[in-house]
Amino acid sequence: MIPVWMFLLLLVGATGFAWGSPANGNDREQGSILNLPADPISFQPGPGNDLASRYCLMCHSAEYVYTQPPHPREHWIEIVNKMNASFGCPISDEDMTPLVDYLVTQNSLQPSPSAQHVQRDDLKETPGQSSTQSGDPQKGKTLYGRHCVTCHGPDGKGDGPIGQALVPPAANLTLLGKQSDQTILDTLRNGRPGTAMPAWKNDLNALELNHLLSFLRTLSP
């Protein structure tokens, strides 16, 4: 059975909607335009934050979680199991418990809109270095595994568990070789209109984005 979230994505594609504004501005060629609002709330810091961002944002916003009434742990277990079994969310067995643990800790939180990721002093960029030079590709690989692999796949080819079901499909990151560091960083920070690529500026600080950029550079031939 096709997962519900995948059916909805395919339905949007089949009905002629484009996720965002067309690049050439020609509405008649691109079809009707569906502009999705940015999520005003991100998952709050804490153990399991990365798991919630990786799995829950596939189908709904973080705000959806925070508008839920407080749930006992048993109810969160049921919800996470349903995400996995009924809706096809590719949650690994080892991630199930820590994801539930994190969601339980969010019961009593009322996050402020557009909560910014706090940048510690020891994470500031080194003056005089380019973005790629100031990043560590090994740290970037870890961040990629947490936030990107579900859509873009382990080798960046856009073949993650949901990558090809997106409308349009997830980008092939091995083709970024000709794009400038600034262009890639702008996409990481602000997302990409017209696609399912989210903005990470509220979840990753400047140096973490540079780590991720450095790793993405290793994917190009």
Q: Is residue 111 part of a domain?
A: no
In this structure, are 127 and 197 located in the same domain? yes
d(CA 70, CA 208): 32
Domain count, the chain: 3
d(CA 80, CA 92): 11
In this structure, are 68 and 28 located in the same domain? no
Neighbours of 161 (CB within 10 A): 14
Q: Determine phi and psi for 32, rounding to 5 degrees.
A: -65, 155
Q: Is residue 173 part of a domain?
A: yes
In this structure, are 81 and 129 located in the same domain? no
In this structure, are 30 and 91 located in the same domain? no
d(CA 35, CA 60): 15
Q: Is residue 40 part of a domain?
A: no
Query: What number of residues does the chain have?
Result: 221
Q: What is the pLDDT of residue 131?
A: 58
Q: Is residue 159 part of a domain?
A: yes
pLDDT in tens, the chain (221 residues): 444 444 444 444 433 333 333 333 343 344 444 444 445 677 888 899 889 988 887 777 788 888 888 899 999 999 999 988 887 788 889 999 999 999 999 988 866 554 444 444 334 444 445 555 679 999 999 999 888 988 899 999 999 877 887 788 899 999 998 899 999 999 999 988 888 888 888 778 999 999 999 999 999 88
Q: Is residue 43 part of a domain?
A: no
In this structure, are 78 and 148 located in the same domain? no
Q: What is the pLDDT of residue 64?
A: 82
- For residue 207, the domain's CATH number is 1.10.760.10
Q: Is residue 146 part of a domain?
A: yes
In this structure, are 97 and 141 located in the same domain? no
In this structure, are 101 and 14 located in the same domain? no
Q: What is the pLDDT of residue 111?
A: 67
d(CA 78, CA 101): 13
Q: Is residue 77 part of a domain?
A: yes
In this structure, are 151 and 199 located in the same domain? yes
Q: What is the pLDDT of residue 130?
A: 54
Q: What is the pLDDT of residue 164?
A: 80
Q: Residue 72's domain spans which residues?
A: 49-105
Q: What is the pLDDT of residue 57?
A: 78
In this structure, are 84 and 127 located in the same domain? no
Say how far residue 161 (Cα) sits from the centre of its chain: 13
Q: What is the pLDDT of residue 113?
A: 53
In this structure, are 194 and 157 located in the same domain? yes
Q: Is residue 113 part of a domain?
A: no
In this structure, are 212 and 126 located in the same domain? yes
Which helix (H) or strand (E) covers residue 19, if one does? strand 18-19
In this structure, are 159 and 209 located in the same domain? yes
